[in-house]
Amino acid sequence: MTESHYPLDGRLPALLRGQQRVRGLFNGLPSPAIVEMCGYAGFDFIIIDNEHGSADLGVTENMLRAARASGIIPVVRCFAHDLPRVLDMGASAVQIPMVESVEQARELAARVFYPPKGIRGSAFSTRAAGYGAFSGAGHTQRSNEGICLIVMLETPQAIARAYDIASVEGVDAVFIGPNDLAHAMGHGSDWNAPPVQQAIGQGLAAITSAGKCPGIIALTPEDEEKYAALGARYFANVSTALITRAFKQAASRGDEAVLRY
């Protein structure tokens, strides 16, 4: 059995430990087709957004299948209570919002991994284990070595603890959420406000110092270069932003131009 036949795509840990940039996007649209399109477009990963998106768990599982089929690494942003089911569906990583303490990060890490690395409960009849075809010690090892935990820092309190949170064993990457951070700092949606940018830089530097992969939203090439200079390597755009921008560009050319597409 080759690695490509297993439901679980285990490539992300090596990418996060490396030095190269990895690029993906948040997707809140409940559509396996969108996942496939992102894979065929060449993104490294897709974040299936179960925090703000509208996909139920059944659709989420089909989106994970689409990711495996199209060769894109699937990350699921979800709340802690959904961790067991999302992992049993075959997510390659989970990205957890609003992490603010070392204790919270440790608890998440324990729930993501099987013993002896963590305390995740075993269930070998699930998609991640091939419905029993790839169960047992092999599945446990593939999961513990191939699944990533990404935590999100979105408040000034979290930024102040960025080094300690990033240093938690089992945390593979730390993603700074600039929009929520800006709101929490009293700047509304203006994450380009100098105090917010200073906090982002502080957080990225702390994560890098802890030896973990720093991540952030990068909506433009200029954003990516700016944050890469501060240490970021895990960059996420937003699928709906890209799609809407393309639609607006097409519409602005007039009806005749649109009809030629």
Catalytic residue, candidates 5, 52, 81, 183? 52
Determine contact, residues 48/60, Cβ cutoff 8 Å.
yes
In the residue annotation, 52 being an active-site residue is answered as yes
Residue 122 burial class via C-beta count within 10 angstroms: exposed 0-12, middle 13-18, buried 19 and up = middle
| Ranges of H-type helices in 147-193 | 156-160, 162-166, 178-184
Query: CA 246 to CA 251: how far, in whole Å?
Result: 9
Q: Among 221, 214, 106, 248, which Cα is nearest to 165's?
A: 106
Structure tokens at 4: 């490509």
Give catalytic residue positions: 52
